[in-house]
Amino acid sequence: MVSDEKYNGLSIAELLKQKQLDGSGDIWRARIDSVTETDVEKVLAMPTGVFNLEKLIVLISPAARKYIEQMAQAANRLTIQRFGRVVRMYAPLYVSNYCNNSCRYCGFNRTHHYQRSRLTIAQAMKEADVIASEGFRDILLVSGEDREFIDVDYLVELTKRLREKFSYIAVEIYQLEAEEYARLFKAGVEGVTIYQETYDRQQYQYWHPAGLKADYDRRLIAADSVCSAGMREIGLGVLLGLKDWRIETLAMGLHANYLMKRYWKSHVSFSFPRIRPATEVESAQFEYLMSDEYLVQMISALRLCFADAGEVISTRESALFRDNLIKTGITKTSAGSKTNPGGYSQCKDAAEQFKIDDDRSPELVTRAIKRAGFEPVWKDWDRAFVKSE
């Protein structure tokens, strides 16, 4: 099986529509349910790590549930072959929980009532000092949609300062335009994570009622902008719990393959955020909460279709579950995370984006990684890649 589809000229929106993976059609449920155990065995007999939509359908099907152990084993072998017995370590730095959006699942929702805070560059650097002192060299800047304060100039300036301490800088912030991403890349940002949250148009409208993020089509082209700006890493993700994970996985797989073919120099990685409780957000609001078992199936299925894609897991998940996930294809993990601005060094009580589950120190997390037979890697990039101005 090869990834032989040509996407010439189609935008990602057109492609999703053509495949009816934007919620515009109802063909997928039946397709997924019609997968047989024989189909699964056929795919698992040849775990090549190359994407093909038909293959992904088989691997995420209910029929494959019986084969989760085999899938995890194959994913583990493929990950070790491609990435080695290593896990990259990173930590998030939250700079603002102000937000103009009102996503119904998020603690930073503009309608929620709590003390907002944002960090000056000097305050952010204090946080960075704490993160660096724990051994981290890979940092993820996170911010709510707070364009007035956390503007592109702020991000460029902070990136330049962070380069003195960190060898890899990525951002997970509100959506920018391609030229703005290009400015960040030039300053030293190497990667951008931007979740579609859900690929289903109607669902998307429901969960994102206001703010710039309410525009599905605008959101969908974010990854194109990131890659065309020259970024090395593009992180994709769906918020697991908003809609049926199986169809979302197919859409995200198609999106990844589209990006890999069109922007061949950018590396795709996947994140697996499951809905977590947050300020004024309760789990009971969500119809499609995902089980541990299905998350393992999803992580393994994507590895078996994308041998070289990054797979990232955060401290949203429990310590025990994370320790076990290291062996199923995960290539990058955070530790000791604070998801509120100033959480590492200053205002310990500002509202978090979501509640973390694994609150172990980086030291304890790395010990667990070593016990699993993997080497925690703190540095896998160098600031020398960035051209000095």
Residues at the interface with another protein (CB under 8 A): 80-86, 167, 232, 260, 264-267, 307-308, 370, 373-375, 377, 379-382, 384-385, 387
Round to whole Å and give the CA distance between 46 and 61. 17
Instruction: Kindly tell me which of 108 and 270 has the beta carbon lying closer to another protein.
Output: 270
Q: Are 56 and 250 in contact (CB under 8 A)?
A: yes
Q: At its nearest, how many Å lie between another protein and the CB of residue 87?
A: 11
Q: At its nearest, how many Å lie between another protein and the CB of residue 267?
A: 4
How many Cβ atoms are within 10 Å of 307's Cβ, its own excluded?
Answer: 18
Q: Are 342 and 129 in contact (CB under 8 A)?
A: no
Q: Which residues contact 126 (CB under 8 A, 6 or more apart)?
A: 345, 346
Pick the closest to residue 299 from 275, 276, 332 (CA basis): 332
Instruction: Kindly tell me which of 30 and 264 has the beta carbon lying closer to another protein.
Output: 264
Q: At its nearest, how many Å lie between another protein and the CB of residue 227?
A: 11
Instruction: Kindly tell me which of 6 and 387 has the beta carbon lying closer to another protein.
Output: 387
DSSP code, position 240 = B
Q: At its nearest, how many Å lie between another protein and the CB of residue 80?
A: 5
Q: Which residues contact 1 (CB under 8 A, 6 or more apart)?
A: 46, 48, 50, 52, 54, 55
Q: At its nearest, how many Å lie between another protein and the CB of residue 165?
A: 12
Q: At its nearest, how many Å lie between another protein and the CB of residue 224?
A: 17
Instruction: Kindly tell me which of 168 and 216 has the beta carbon lying closer to another protein.
Output: 168
Instruction: Kindly tell me which of 24 and 133 has the beta carbon lying closer to another protein.
Output: 133
271, with CB counted inside 10 A (0-12, 13-18, 19+), is buried
Instruction: Kindly tell me which of 76 and 205 has the beta carbon lying closer to another protein.
Output: 76
Round to whole Å and give the CA distance between 157 and 150. 11
